[in-house]
Amino acid sequence: MKILQKINPAWIVLTEIIYRIEQQKYHMPIGRTIFQKIAYVATVLGLPTGLNHIRASYGPYCSELDEVKKRLANAGLIQEQRLGSMFKVLPGLEYKNTREKYQEEIKKWDCLINKTTDLFLRLDTNKAEIVATVLFVEKEINKKNDKTEQDVLNEVMKWKQKRRPPVNEKEVAETIRNLGILKWFNLKPSHELLVNDYEF
């Protein structure tokens, strides 16, 4: 018998994001890295997950998320399946039943869930890392007056300078520009940014 205890309702919302992505016919598999980035983005948008993210080699990282996953898995709300060299994160067998009990909480965060779901439908693991890194940096420097796209690009590349394999600077620049187009933040445009605008 699965026991639902000591679970922050916000973690149910994280599971709902996975559930909605999985309902789509075409989407990237959600591995452990992408789940980390989903948790970060939802937290930044205001979901009270209680998670604290720090800079790490592959973007924002929260060690506490392992405990969250363990509790969700013990309650049957998420599961992992091996997919080649990765572990795919999926809603657990108990999630549909539990989902009904949390409809009020899910409805409360519906806009956040939809925004996060829509973003991650577009992203593979590499793009998810870059998106989360850009959002982390933009949030870090958001007290700076007249911050620009170039400011964020410079800081991301500084963070990633020891990354192997290296991060593609043009891809970072395009990510910054397109997150702005999608209204994730409002940066002063940098005309020197060499980008070909595209949708994720």
Tell me which residue range forms the domain holding 175: 125-181
Cβ-count burial of 30 within 10 angstroms (0-12 exposed, 13-18 middle, 19+ buried)? buried
Domain count for the chain, please give it: 2
Give the pair of three-digit tokens for residue 85. Answer: 């060299």
User: Residue 105's closest CA among 1, 195, 16?
Assistant: 16
Looking at the structure, do residues 33 and 106 belong to the same domain, yes or no? yes
Looking at the structure, do residues 151 and 52 belong to the same domain, yes or no? no
CB 121 within 8 Å of CB 24: yes
Which CATH number characterizes residue 13's domain? 1.10.10
Structural domain contains residue 190: no
Looking at the structure, do residues 138 and 116 belong to the same domain, yes or no? no
Question: What's the full length of the chain, in residues?
Answer: 200
- pLDDT value, residue 154: 94
Among the candidates 79, 95, 120, a domain finishes at 120
Structural domain contains residue 75: yes
Looking at the structure, do residues 102 and 139 belong to the same domain, yes or no? no
Looking at the structure, do residues 66 and 163 belong to the same domain, yes or no? no
- pLDDT value, residue 197: 56
The residue type of 2 is K
The pTM for the full model equals 0.91
- Mean pLDDT of each 10-residue bin along the chain, 200 residues long: 68 97 90 96 96 94 95 95 89 93 95 96 93 95 82 94 88 94 90 68
